[in-house]
A and B are shown apart, each in its own frame.
Chain A
Amino acid sequence: MLVSVNQAERERIFEYWGGRFGVPSPALAELRFLVRGRNVWAVADLDGLDGALASFKVEAAGLPFLRRQKHMWKPTTSALLFLDAAVTKNVVDLTEEQLQPFLRGEMLPGPFVVDGGYVAVRCEEKMLGCALYGKAGLKSQLPRAWVAVLLGGKAEMAEEQ
């Protein structure tokens, strides 16, 4: 069951985005955060939301936003795309030459001027999503299914009647 986070948890979420990625509080202010297991969703705080959450068995609500790991949060690519220009810290700007190997899942050796851990990745000044930066380099954390569509392997996934 999806439940709203309490005030303390909400503040930790704000602190995480602000501290790690420089996201100002107003960019998150209109969102409600819901949690189930390790996953945190961000949903628009709308009239009827509480009723829907109480009335129905909800599979998902709004955007998957964060995933709790042992000692840190993992931001989702959909959250980074949603926050886009509000993300100002720990951002790696890939060159065109770096983009293809990054998408193929290869390790980019760096160095990059960001803190170790989960970072945001942009290309041509446009947000792409999440990556993990460590001693070995930078590795994509983009959703594999999305990358497969982008690289042409699952083109039919993009088609809809």
Chain B
Amino acid sequence: MVQAFERYREIIPDFPAFLKALEIRQPTHLRINSFRVKREEFQHAMAERGYRLASVEGIPDAFRWESTSGPGSTLEYFRGCYHVQGLTSMFPALILDPQPGDRLLDMCAAPGGKATHLAQLTQNRALIVANDVTHHRIGILRSHSDRLGITSIVVTRYQGQSFPMRMQFDRILLDPPCSAEGTYRTGKRPPLTEDPQVSYRLQRLQQMLLNRALELLRPGGTLVYSTCTYAPEENEAVLHQVVEAGQAEIVPIDVPFPYAPGLEVWDGHGFHPSLKQAARFYPHLLDSWGFFIACLRKPG
């Protein structure tokens, strides 16, 4: 067993099943690009070429890739008919519920899956500022955005925690750097949290990012905070501080997939009771990346 996960024995439901799920390879999911192709047309074209796809109940645009060849090696991928994206990675944009006319900020946007999803959900009719600090990762974001035909994304390269306070946003997606425990499945490198200090170091950055994001959010605006880690230090503990301080309130989320509620207690520390309305996704409950998602509203 990966040692880093032992400390979650008491908080992850059916822990033996969780450990078993880690031994199974991660499935590949994709999201079709509604700008370029209709669902039925896509299914038909891929079947004709001999690619195997399975529908995902609950998200019409999502499919599970079941062919042995790589999902990037098709003409349809080249033409931007779909984007390869983990199933749970599709949830933050859906939960944010962006609307045409909104001003949106994806604060740590690279490599671009969630930002391009926001553009798709708003049909290129909402301004999306997609920010990231890493030059190389911005290059990947731009490549995906260009391939998918996105015209509503403006790309910036600031440190998120010092993003300029020159515009307020209706909705913000914050998917900060994290220890990425949720991406660990068989064959992958052990999670960064083999060193327990990693989560505490990341927590400081995550708190700074969240504070700046809330400053950038208009009163009454919505913020979705997500990570691909199980570490409570990087999830509930980060959100607890802003909820306790009245800077934001947790909003219930509705996702048609199984998940566990956010934690109210961890390692002797109590969290604000509303944090149980956050969602923890585990690979034995939903066969995808492990994920944490919370939806926050800034008081009006």
Selected from B36, B72, B182, the residue in CB contact (under 8 A) with A157 is B72
Q: Establish whether residues A155 and B156, one from each chain, have CB atoms under 8 Å apart when the complex forms.
A: no
Chain B residues with CB under 8 Å of A64's CB are 146
Interface segment, A10-18, A55-63, A111-119, A131-139? A55-63
Given contacts A62-B152, A161-B86, contact A48 B78 (CB under 8 A): no
Chain A residues with CB under 8 Å of B154's CB are 43, 49, 52-53, 56, 58, 60-62
B169's nearest neighbour on chain A, judged by CB, is A48
Chain B residues with CB under 8 Å of A147's CB are 78
Q: Establish whether residues A158 and B84, one from each chain, have CB atoms under 8 Å apart when the complex forms.
A: yes
Q: What total of chain B residues lie within 8 Å of the partner, measured CB to CB?
A: 52
Number of A-B contacts (CB under 8 A): 141
Chain A residues with CB under 8 Å of B36's CB are 81, 84
Instruction: A63 to B150: give the CA distance in the assembly, Å.
Output: 7
Q: Establish whether residues B127 and A149, one from each chain, have CB atoms under 8 Å apart when the complex forms.
A: no
Chain A residues with CB under 8 Å of B142's CB are 59-60
Task: Tell me what chain A mostly uses at the interface: helix, strand, loop, or mixed.
Answer: mixed
Instruction: A106 to B198: give the CA distance in the assembly, Å.
Output: 49
Instruction: A18 to B51: give the CA distance in the assembly, Å.
Output: 37
Instruction: A57 to B158: give the CA distance in the assembly, Å.
Output: 9
Q: Establish whether residues A126 and B101, one from each chain, have CB atoms under 8 Å apart when the complex forms.
A: no
Q: Establish whether residues A58 and B155, one from each chain, have CB atoms under 8 Å apart when the complex forms.
A: yes
B159, chain A: closest CB distance, angstroms: 12
Q: Which of B211-235 contact A (CB under 8 A)?
A: 228
B12, chain A: closest CB distance, angstroms: 19
Q: Establish whether residues A56 and B156, one from each chain, have CB atoms under 8 Å apart when the complex forms.
A: yes
Instruction: A151 to B198: give the CA distance in the assembly, Å.
Output: 38
Q: Establish whether residues A63 and B151, one from each chain, have CB atoms under 8 Å apart when the complex forms.
A: yes
Contact of A97 with B by CB under 8 A: no
Q: Establish whether residues B73 and A150, one from each chain, have CB atoms under 8 Å apart when the complex forms.
A: yes
A127's nearest neighbour on chain B, judged by CB, is B79
Chain A residues with CB under 8 Å of B67's CB are none
Q: Which of B25-84 contact A (CB under 8 A)?
A: 28, 36, 70-75, 77-80, 83-84
Given contacts A31-B151, A63-B151, A126-B79, contact A46 B125 (CB under 8 A): yes
Chain A residues with CB under 8 Å of B199's CB are none
Q: Which of B77-113 contact A (CB under 8 A)?
A: 77-80, 83-86, 89, 101, 103, 111-113
B21, chain A: closest CB distance, angstroms: 16
Chain A residues with CB under 8 Å of B124's CB are 44
The 6 closest A-B pairs by CB, nearest first: A158-B72, A55-B166, A78-B146, A155-B70, A48-B127, A44-B151
- With A124-B75, A157-B72 given, name 18 new contacts (CB 8 A): A43-B154, A44-B152, A46-B126, A49-B127, A55-B167, A56-B156, A57-B156, A58-B156, A59-B156, A62-B152, A63-B146, A81-B79, A150-B72, A152-B73, A154-B72, A157-B143, A158-B73, A161-B85
Hey, which bits of chain B sit against chain A, CB under 8 A?
28, 36, 70-75, 77-80, 83-86, 89, 101, 103, 111-113, 124-127, 129, 138, 140, 142-143, 145-147, 149-158, 164, 166-167, 180, 182-183, 228, 289
